[in-house]
Structure 1
Amino acid sequence: MDGTDHRILSELTADARTPLVTLAARVHLSRNAVKQRIERMERDGVIGGYTVVSGAGSPRRVTAIVLVYREDRMRGAHVVTELSRIPEIVRCDVLSGEFDLLAIVQAEGMDRVGEIWEHIAALPGVANTVTSVSLAQVIDRP
């Protein structure tokens, strides 16, 4: 599975009734390409079925905060460009102080958070990372 598969899975988890054409637009693929990916995930057991969930909202996503220290102290755009390609990174700020970047990750589980962390830590120019996982959201302002 690649990032696009994870994004499709995330969209379907939020709303399994999302039309293929809407999914295709969100992941920048054709309707048929999205359909083929969904069918492959069904065959491979990644998607085990579809169900109705009663109650308010979808299952809670895992939120992680990744602080990134760069070797070049922000003298190039390649790290930010790579982070922008990860759909689960919903926000990225340039920081003052010890760390250079703050990335907010919202993923479907800890396995995916781990994959994203491994990808970030392996990027050329990334010297160090510190990752924390949100245990509870107590204030949420727009």
Structure 2
Amino acid sequence: MDALDREILAQLQADGRLTVTDLAARIGLSLSACHRRVRELERDGAIVGYRAVLSPEAVGLGFEAVVFATIGRTDLETIEAFEEAVVAIPEIVAAERLFGDPDYMLRVLTPDLAAYQRLYDGTLGRLPGVQRLTSTLVMKRLKAEGAVPVAAYLSA
């Protein structure tokens, strides 16, 4: 990946609705060369998709919690079952497996505290292998999902 590929990625992260024509003009490439590079970045997995970024509050999901999960058994079968279950829960919008304790961090969006309590009691507490769940409520989001910092490494 060279500096032009990184610039393409930076531009598309900033505005995923850019046409290939506009993108080519911004980075100084011909239309065909730009189109070829974008397709290669998609094929190679650097670009994994395109989507609209939504405001949770604007769509009625203004209650956010971060849930830390500790797994009681760490055998492969339990871990796989837990991870598959987590991925299937739409209210969990981000999930990371961590080193140390706790084992997982889950970001959860619901309409309100009552909906979160129902999810916690009825679904999260019943996830495979869960030993302990700890929740904290998000008071204020300072930075939403950030862009991958490819622009910081344009000279690399």
TM-score (norm 1): 0.54
Count of residues in Structure 1 that have an aligned counterpart in Structure 2: 87
Do the aligned partners of residues 98 and 74 (structure 1) sit closer, same or farther apart at CA in structure 2, a change above 3 Å counting? farther
- For residues 64-103 of structure 1, what are the structure 2 equivalents within 5 Å? 64-73=65-74, 75-76=76-77, 77-103=80-106
The aligned residue for residue 137 of structure 2 is: 133
Taking every aligned residue pair, what percent have the same amino acid on both sides? 17
Q: What is the CA–CA distance in structure 2 between the aligned matches of 1:116 and 1:57, rounded to whole Å? A: 21
Q: Deviations over 1:23-45 (max 9, x none)?
A: xxxxxxxxxxxxxxxxxxxxxxx
* Equivalent of residue 107 in structure 2, options 104, 108, 119: 104
CA contact (8 A) 1:62 1:106 kept: yes
CA contact (8 A) 2:65 2:107 kept: yes
CA contact (8 A) 2:61 2:110 kept: no
Do the aligned partners of residues 115 and 97 (structure 1) sit closer, same or farther apart at CA in structure 2, a change above 3 Å counting? same
Question: 3-state DSSP class of the match of 1:140?
Answer: coil
Q: Which has the higher contact order (CA 8 A, sep 6+)?
A: 2
Tell me how far 1:57 sits from its aligned partner: 4.2
What's the C-alpha RMSD, in Å, of the aligned pairs?
A: 2.1
Runs of at least 5 residues in structure 1 that lack an aligned partner in the other structure: 1-55
Q: Residue 102 of structure 1 aligns to which amino acid in structure 2?
A: M
Question: 3-state DSSP class of the match of 2:124?
Answer: helix
Runs of at least 5 residues in structure 2 that lack an aligned partner in the other structure: 1-56, 147-156
Tell me how far 1:129 sits from its aligned partner: 0.7
- The structure 1 segments of at least 4 consecutive aligned residues displaced by more than 4 Å after TM superposition are 56-60
Tell me how far 1:123 sits from its aligned partner: 2.5
TM-score (norm 2): 0.50
The aligned residue for residue 114 of structure 1 is: 117
Which structure: larger Rg?
2
Q: Deviations over 1:83-135 (max 9, x none)?
A: 11111100110001111111100111111211222211122310001001101
Do the aligned partners of residues 74 and 116 (structure 1) sit closer, same or farther apart at CA in structure 2, a change above 3 Å counting? farther
